[in-house]
Structure 1
Amino acid sequence: MVALLIRMLGDGVFLIWSLTPTIAALIILLALTREGYSKEGWKSLGLHRFGLRIWWLAFGLTLLISLIASFIVWVTPFASFVMPRVGAAVVLLNFLIMVAFTLPFALGEEIGMRGYLLSKLLPLGRTRALAVVGLVHAAWHMPLLFLTPLYHTAGNKLIVLPLFVGTIVAASFVFGYLRIYTGSVWPASIAHAVHNAAWLTLAAFTVTSSPVIVNEYLVGDNGLLILATTALAAAGLGYIFFRRGLNKNAQPSVAGGEVALETK
């Protein structure tokens, strides 16, 4: 099925694939649990709140993750910083356009993952729920990784796969903490879109004679440095939001009052 879609749609399969978590959540809400026929049921998706007060954090922190990783790789023997010929202003404008373009598709993933699924798994405990959602999200990418020529084809799968899964799980904590703290799926979606746009944009500032090492193993979408900085960001968010008592200012739940933020 996936291979057939690739032949028919080419790169467009990414756009369609990104909507499948939302489609799955809607099927569950409307056809299986019937929760979608009540206002409270729809609240489980986290669309009813915008979480505006931390949009800056969702944007800035996620961009910082890729920036720090890129700064580190620029001082290694594998890569150097270069100013794009079109100029930094054009590249940065393209970055903002890319964030806006990819946001609906990031939202398509997040509604299903951090929106519906996380809200239902929180009774397991916050850490377990975030880890499980991350693993599910990683598994959701596997058909693209193994059945198509469009996704991480340059690197050795034995190296790429652990880095990929590790980064997705670490990102699940970053996106998930934003979701839980605000009761909204929007900050998580913004963070997701910024990540997708940031690593592509920063590649324009990077020159390397070892593209696989740099773009697959060190930075890029889920290189080792991206994994490390994402994990540090997740630890920092967890400490700030939930260890220093700031959750007293948070929304009461991620699911319309059903699941308390204080769930550990």
Structure 2
Amino acid sequence: MRRTNTPEDSRPGLAPFLAISFVGAWITMIPLWLGGLRRTSAAQGTPPLAALCMILMMLVPALTAFALTARRHGPREAVRVLGLARTTPWRHEVHSAATAITIPLALTTVGLTLATLVGWYTPAHMPGPAAITPLVLSALVSVPLYFGEELGWQGYLLPRLIRHGKFRGLLIGGAIWGAWHVPMTALGGSYPGHSVLLGIPVAIVTAMLLGTVIAAVRLFTGSVWAAVAAHLSLNEFALPLTHDVSGPDHLVDPLLAGPLSISTWPATTLAVLGIWLAYRRRAGYQHPAAQQRSSA
């Protein structure tokens, strides 16, 4: 696994980044709060104003990360520090992104299988080209938005968290990611029709699990773009395909079925456990060598 940044790059700037990102998230949602908008049903669409506010919210982490990094290192060096500069061949970058796209889809498939078995989900048909093509086009257009989040979370925040332990940093980063979504979650953004007292804790647990997986993709591949691909796959493919496969006559409750549902928790928990075991195994391999170097 590759180090995301040097220790020198990981020390300062955590508190300002979190403060600006969280305050910025709430500020971008002010028009929706003042307008009294709240999603009360999964069938309710996203009004243009809500879409605009969410776009602005998603850009806050990247703008904050780049501004803080450029202030310390300069704009050109900020590109390298945040992990934007390509350090591996294009073939590796493309392969990493393609692999990252499949991960949320695989986790969602396992979750939907469980939801079907317990009666929370009813699959009707497999998605065809007519359903997938517009999703691909939407994903291509939306890349800058997911880049806006992941540049902040994986390019800036993650290196500052993992200096206290990689796995612990992954979990903390996922929890922070979930808490950052609260201004939107409280408006019924993730779990429409459910109480805020239920939706927010579920959203934070879900984000901690999925965020850990996405951050691990970043560390394993050494690429912020792979993390962008994983996040994009989650929102642009896994979410809409969940509804498409169920058919127009079935209203899917996102709390019970889909990539953000509790039915995906077992699959994502196993994935997080696998990440923990991978780090334990790697640490076990490195420990004797480290002892040998120290005794030499």
Shared fold, TM over 0.5: yes
1:78-100 Cα shifts (integer Å, max 9, x gaps): 3311127xx62211223323332
Q: Which amino acid in structure 1 is aligned with residue 74 of structure 2? A: G
Listed as ranges, the gaps of 5+ residues in structure 1 are: 249-264
Partner of 1:129: 169
What do the CA deviations read for 1:196-233 (whole angstroms, capped 9, x no partner)? 1212222111159984xx52322234211123222222
Match of 2:114 in 1: 72
Code of the residue aligned with 1:196 in structure 2: it is N
What SS is found at the alignment partner of 1:195?
A: helix
Post-superposition offset of 1:3: 4.7
Q: 2:273 aligns with which of 235, 253, 257?
A: 235
Q: Which stretches in structure 2 are left out of the alignment for 5+ residues?
A: 1-26, 36-47, 286-296
Paired residue for 1:166, among 202, 205, 208? 205
Q: Displacement, 1:37? A: 4.5
Aligned in 2, Cα 1:98/1:67: closer, same or farther, shift over 3 Å?
Answer: farther
Q: Given the superposition, is the C-alpha separation of residues 10 and 163 from structure 1 closer, same or farther in structure 2, using an over 3 Å criterion?
A: closer
Instruction: Identify the match of residue 73 of structure 2 among 16, 25, 35.
Output: 35
How far apart are 1:9 and its partner, in Å? 2.8
Are the structure 2 counterparts of residues 13 and 161 from structure 1 closer, same or farther at C-alpha, using a change threshold of 3 Å?
same
Q: In the aligned structure 2, how far is the partner of 1:131 from the partner of 1:61?
A: 18
Which sits farther off after the overlay, 127-136 or 106-115?
127-136
Please give the per-residue CA displacement for 1:92-143, whole angstroms capped at 9, x wherever unaligned: 2233233323332111100000111111222111122112211221121111
Q: How many residues align?
A: 239
* Number of the residue aligned with 1:110: 150
- Paired residues of 2:167 and 2:276 also in contact (CA < 8 A): no
Distance 2:118 2:157 in 1: 40
2:181 to 141, 149, 172: 141
| Partner SS state of residue 18, structure 1 | helix
Whether 2:240 is the aligned partner of 1:200: answer yes
Cα distance in 1 for partners of 2:119, 2:162 equals 44
Alignment-mate amino acid for residue 45 of structure 1:
L
Q: Which amino acid aligns with 2:31?
A: L
Distance 1:238 1:91 in 2: 36
Q: Which moved more, 1:70-79 or 1:130-139?
A: 70-79
Q: 1:100 and 1:237, CA in 2 relative to 1: closer, same or farther beyond 3 A?
A: farther
Do the aligned partners of residues 77 and 9 (structure 1) sit closer, same or farther apart at CA in structure 2, a change above 3 Å counting?
Answer: closer
Contact 1:74 1:206 in 2 (8 A): no
Q: CA deviation at 1:12?
A: 1.6
3-state SS in 2 of match to 1:220 = coil
Q: Which residue of 1 aligns with 2:218?
A: 179
TM-score, scaled relative to structure 2: 0.71
2:54 corresponding residue in structure 1: 14
Does the residue aligned with 1:101 lie in a helix, a strand or coil?
Answer: helix
CA distance in 2 between partners of 1:101 and 1:37 (Å)? 25
